[in-house]
Amino acid sequence: MRAAKTTLRLCLGVLLVAASACTTRTVPLPPPIIQSLSAPDEDGMVHISGLCHEGASVGVLNENSQEGVVTASPEVGCDSSCPWETEIRAEIDDELRIWQFFETESGLQRTVPVR
């Protein structure tokens, strides 16, 4: 009887872990689709646009300057083809890293104070 209860508890624990794993987004997202990447304009800004997953944010990091931007698509109901666009300061031949990600619970939110 005692062995049966232990086995039942173990099975229930495994089932709960498996069920909770299905609700978390642990699989890495593929990079977003890049539809256009412009040359720098007269102000040194590069315009980038493409498609991402619904609800995802897109990050762009200039590897040379270590400056970055994060944006998201304003569209809903677009599954994995939600349009996004942003601008980042870059020079010709700068390397840009572009990725998409879902918001995490571990992020901090702060309000900018008034002077």
pLDDT (tens digit per residue) in 46-82: 999 999 999 999 999 999 999 999 999 999 999 999 9
Q: How far apart are the first and last CA of the chain?
A: 69
Q: How many CB atoms lie within 10 A of CB 90?
A: 23
**Residue 13 included in any domain:** no
**Residue 59 included in any domain:** yes
Q: How far apart are CA 97 and CA 47, in angstroms?
A: 14
pLDDT of residue 31: 94
**Residue 87 included in any domain:** yes
pLDDT tens-digit readout, 20-53: 444 455 567 899 999 999 999 999 999 999 999 9
How many structural domains does the chain have? 1
**Residue 110 included in any domain:** no
**Residue 90 included in any domain:** yes
pLDDT of residue 43: 98
pLDDT(12) > 60: no
State the CATH number of the domain containing residue 78.
2.60.40
Q: How far apart are CA 22 and CA 16, in angstroms?
A: 10
Q: How many CB atoms lie within 10 A of CB 55?
A: 14
- Place 109 in a pLDDT band, splitting at 50, 70 and 90: confident
How far is residue 3 from each of residues 9, 10, 16, 34, 67, measured CA to CA in Å? 10, 10, 20, 57, 59
> What is the rounded average pLDDT of the residues 82-108?
92
Per DSSP, 81 falls in state: -
Query: Alpha-carbon dihedral of residues 93, 95, 98, 104, nearest 10 degrees?
Result: -150
Q: Which domain holds residue 71?
A: 33-101
pLDDT of residue 106: 73
